[in-house]
Amino acid sequence: MKNFQLKAKILSQTEIKDNYWYCELSAPQVAKNALSGQFINIRVSDNLDPLLRRPISIHRVSGAKIKIFYEVVGKATEILAQKKKGEYLDIIGPLGNGFEYSRITKKSYKRKNILVAGGMGVAPLVFLAEKIKFNKPLVLIGAREKEQILCSQEFKALGCKVIIATDDGSLGFKGKVTELLKEVLSLNQQASKAENIYACGPQPMLKAVAQISCANNIASQLSLERHMACGFGACLGCVVATKSGYKRVCKDGPVFSGKELTW
């Protein structure tokens, strides 16, 4: 897989709600080679603190542009949010393996692919939904409360059916998105025959998705997050335990089959 280091020009920076930002970058080589589920590693400043790059998923691609969607949670994302249109960002990408969907064809039944997103986990899944939109995937989005439900319009615009879950019941199903997934699989005839479940979100959610998929005999692909020092496979810092030993989330992942992980 090809990757590049480049100075990408910021084409737009928009705060869509408190602390959540869209940023469009001009990055022709990255855009051309990007697969859904891959990420870029961003150096937000030349200063020594924060020192390391920060991994952010590729959210969408159009022409020579890539779009990222990020939440301000700490030092680096705060600096990132202060960058203005016209400034340049030092990025490396596209990195990681990406989701596997080559077996999904136009002939596959509708809604036979389920996307499960927790919180910011929507970020890479929108790009995936775009790639398999002909299949009209079913998208389950979960968060603590209504305000934190992200990207539901984007998924709908791509022709996906969206069901929402909130912990406090302020929108949609009341409970965890994984409880919603269980319910959907048991109540919905079509969904129970699903071929693939793709998920991105917090670790406990991914673990539950893996268990549910396994119990229902459905293949799952999970996008993991780990602290990364390099992001391109050199430091061996970001490993996760799998049935065939430790694997690097940045290079062998971030997408792993649920069956492969030992948690």
Partner 1 sequence: MVKQAKPNLSVNIGNLVLHNPVMVASGTFGYAEEFKELMDLKKLGAIVTKTITIKPRPGNLPPRTCETPAGMLNSIGLENPGIGRFIKEKLPFLKKLGIPVIVSIAAEDNPEEFSVLVRQLDKINTVSAIELNISCPNLQKDRLISQDAKETFALVGAIRKLTKKCLITKLSPNVTSVPEIALAAQEAGSDAIALINTLTGMSIDVHKRAPKIGSWVGGLSGPAIRPVAVRMVWEVYNKINIPIIGMGGIMDIESALEFFIAGATAVGVGTANFINPRASLEIISGLEKYCHKNKINSIKKLTGLLLRC
Q: Which residues bind ligand FES (CB under 6 A)?
A: 228-231, 233-238, 248, 250-251
Contacts of 241 (CB under 8 A, 6+ apart): 261, 262, 263
Beta-bridged to residue 15, according to DSSP, are 21
The option from ligand FMN, ligand FAD, ligand FES, none interacting with 234 (CB < 5 to 8 A, set by class) reads: ligand FES
How much helix, strand and coil, in percent to the nearest 5, is found in the chain?
Answer: 25, 35, 40
Residue 88 lies near partner 1 (rule: CB under 8 A): no
Burial class of residue 79 (count of CB atoms within 10 Å of its CB; 0-12, 13-18, 19+) = middle
Q: Please say whether the beta carbons of 224 and 249 come within 8 A.
A: yes
Site string for ligand FAD, 204-233 (x = CB under 6 A): ---------------------xxxx-----
Residue 55 lies near ligand FAD (rule: CB under 6 A): yes
Look-up of token digits 């400043």: 45
The option from partner 1, ligand FMN, ligand FAD, none interacting with 231 (CB < 5 to 8 A, set by class) reads: partner 1
Given 214, 215, 235, 241, the residue binding ligand FMN (CB under 6 A): 235
Residue 57 lies near ligand FAD (rule: CB under 6 A): yes
Burial class of residue 84 (count of CB atoms within 10 Å of its CB; 0-12, 13-18, 19+) = exposed
User: Among candidates 32, 52, 36, which has minimal Cα distance to 44?
Assistant: 52
The option from partner 1, ligand FMN, ligand FES, none interacting with 175 (CB < 5 to 8 A, set by class) reads: none
Q: Which of residues 219-248 bind partner 1 (CB under 8 A)?
A: 226-241, 245-246
Cα distance between residue 209 and residue 195, in whole Å: 14
Point out which residues bind partner 1 (CB under 8 A). Answer: 2-5, 43, 48-53, 92, 226-241, 245-246, 251
Point out which residues bind ligand FAD (CB under 6 A). Answer: 39, 50, 54-57, 69-71, 73-77, 120, 123, 225-228, 254
